[in-house]
């Protein structure tokens, strides 16, 4: 019996590996191989059309002297510092409003979620029209109420705030996560607070926000990772130039330009690994800080 059982287990294992083989091949071919290649190429001068030439850490040292590299880092970190807090505030605010029991609540939830389904390129084209300094709808609306229009995407001062504004329009996924977190908070906490005479603001400050911090933490981590890799929206808005005056030239855009416009694959690979390390470090710092401000509900 033991022999038959062992044979059956081996047969099941073989069939399991056979069914998993397409996924394993895809993992090796499309993930593992490019990963190892990018590490190797970051230490090479490589332009795709000619063999890679080992240059050691020269790519990394050249990056430290590359002025555009530092401009892209500054732009990316500045945008992240603006977009992440804005996304958290707007997302929590919308989730609180959509959690109120009112007629037609499901319709409002759908309306706020729909923009997140629009392709990023289509979103960029739409907002290019809305924020056009000369004939944009938003500037036209400002003139109707007696205010002067703003040079939204054509000004180094307003370009990044404009991008943050556009990002809030597609915040639906984050709102859904916040909404799920709100609905997961036990009603017992609110009933106990009402018995103690707590008002709406006290309940929000003492119960809702503290017990929502695990969801806030998750969304902040995902938002930081996303904003540090922002690419499609600014690339489409600026046709890949990063103008005005490189104010919308983000790290991923400069990496893409080095890889596919200048054919400097080794240089771009070095940039990719620097970005990877930065994201890992920031994520670890966020996880380390979470013990101080993330609170969880008691399961009992």
C-alpha distances in angstroms, 17 versus 3, 6, 25, 259, 289? Answer: 21, 16, 11, 36, 41
The residue with tokens 């993330």 is: 294
SS3 per-residue string spanning 137-171: HHHHHHHHCCCCCCCCCCCCCCHHHHHHHHHHHCC
pLDDT tens sequence across 254-263: 999 999 999 9
pLDDT tens sequence across 113-150: 999 999 999 999 999 999 998 889 999 999 999 888 89
Is 300 a residue whose pLDDT tops 50? no
14 or 66: whose pLDDT is higher?
66
- Tell me the pTM: 0.90
Contact between 74 and 245 under an 8 Å Cβ cutoff? The reply is no
Which pLDDT band holds residue 211 (cuts at 50, 70, 90)? very high
The Cα 257–Cα 191 span in angstroms is: 57
The Cα 69–Cα 91 span in angstroms is: 32
- The DSSP H or E segment spanning 44 is strand 44-45
Q: Give the pLDDT confidence score for residue 2 in this predicted structure.
A: 57
DSSP conformational letter for 52: -
pLDDT tens sequence across 146-164: 888 899 999 999 999 999 9
């Amino acid at each position: 019996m033991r022999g038959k059982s062992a044979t059956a287990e081996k047969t099941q294992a073989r069939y399991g590996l056979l069914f998993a083989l397409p996924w394993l091949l895809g993992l090796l071919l499309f993930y593992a191989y490019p990963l190892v290649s990018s590490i190797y190429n970051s230490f090479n001068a490589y332009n795709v059309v000619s063999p890679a030439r080992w240059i050691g850490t020269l790519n990394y040292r050249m990056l430290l002297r590359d002025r555009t590299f530092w401009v892209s880092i500054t732009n990316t970190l500045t945008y992240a510092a603006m977009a992440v807090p804005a996304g958290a505030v707007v997302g929590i605010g919308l989730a609180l409003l959509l959690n109120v029991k009112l007629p037609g609540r499901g319709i409002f939830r759908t309306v706020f979620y729909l923009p997140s389904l629009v392709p990023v390129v289509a979103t960029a084209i739409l907002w290019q029209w809305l924020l056009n300094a000369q004939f944009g709808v938003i500037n036209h609306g400002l003139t109707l109420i007696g205010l002067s229009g703003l040079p939204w995407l054509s000004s180094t001062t307003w370009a990044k705030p404009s991008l943050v504004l556009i990002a809030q329009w597609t915040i639906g996924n984050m709102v859904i996560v916040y909404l799920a977190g709100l609905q997961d908070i036990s009603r017992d906490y609110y009933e106990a607070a009402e018995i103690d005479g707590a008002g709406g603001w006290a309940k929000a400050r003492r119960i809702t926000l503290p017990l929502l911090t695990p969801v806030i933490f998750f969304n902040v981590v995902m938002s930081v990772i996303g904003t540090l890799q922002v690419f499609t929206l600014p690339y489409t808005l600026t046709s890949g130039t990063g103008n005005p005056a490189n104010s919308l030239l983000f790290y991923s855009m400069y990496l893409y330009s080095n890889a596919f416009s200048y054919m400097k694959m080794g240089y771009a690979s070095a940039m990719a690994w620097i970005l990877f390390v930065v994201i890992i470090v920031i994520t670890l710092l966020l996880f380390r800080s979470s013990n101080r401000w993330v609170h969880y509900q008691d399961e009992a």
